[in-house]
A and B are shown apart, each in its own frame.
Chain A
Amino acid sequence: NAGVMQNPRHLVRRRGQEARLRCSPMKGHSHVYWYRQLPEEGLKFMVYLQKENIIDESGMPKERFSAEFPKEGPSILRIQQVVRGDSAAYFCASSPTAYEDYTFGSGTRLTVV
């Protein structure tokens, strides 16, 4: 089992561009969580998804950010019209059920220039 795979590991975008971050959960895991770690801050919850459903997006900024977890393929965190303040490490985690422990990926480090 390859673990939770995130790509790309590093992503550089110019202000105003779009960023697409991918997360492939562990085999058999249908629950995905996204967290963001801003510089000098702790990780903060963004969104919780199950296959084809957003369960809790209370931590997502209201504008420019969206997430999906389609029936087939990875979960995608999409940031439109990126700004410097979006520069952060974005981590995803997956679990087989809502009750079980989850495993974090290695993260995507987004830099907006």
Chain B
Amino acid sequence: KQEVTQIPAALSVPEGENLVLNCSFTDSAIYNLQWFRQDPGKGLTSLLLIQSSQREQTSGRLNASLDKSSGRSTLYIAASQPGDSATYLCAVGIFGSNTGNQFYFGTGTSLTVIP
């Protein structure tokens, strides 16, 4: 069974800092990996999706990497802003004809960017 762990559980940084969020998973046979943002009481916003054949994806100030062999992914946020404050979720996708594309989620990293 896939287990997804995110470290740290909470992070507080001053505005402008670069930061790294970590995600580890136990089974390297993944279909894809996705990073989401969740604001309090809100839904999920997809940030970056990495297919299993890819090593990284970039969007603006965000960069996500994937190392399947070691079971790790990182989300790098450059020049953090107060508006980046949210919970960041890592989700590891598996695929099967009888399962579709299911995600296993970590419990998230709660990020606070201090102005």
Contacts and interface: CB of A to CB of B under 8 A. Distances in A.
A93 B103 CA distance: 11
Contacts of A95: 100-101
Contact of A41 (B32, B104, B107): B107
A96 to B, nearest CB: 12
Contacts of A48: 99-100, 102
State which size class the interface on B falls in. Answer: 20 to 34
B102 A104 contact: no
- Main SS class of interface, B: strand
B65 to A, nearest CB: 19
B98 A43 contact: no
Interface stretch (A19-27, A68-76, A77-85, A105-113): A105-113
Interface of A: 31, 33, 35, 40-45, 48, 55-56, 58, 91, 95, 98-107, 109
13 contacts: A33-B100, A42-B89, A42-B107, A44-B105, A48-B100, A55-B98, A55-B100, A91-B43, A98-B97, A99-B101, A101-B49, A107-B42, A107-B43
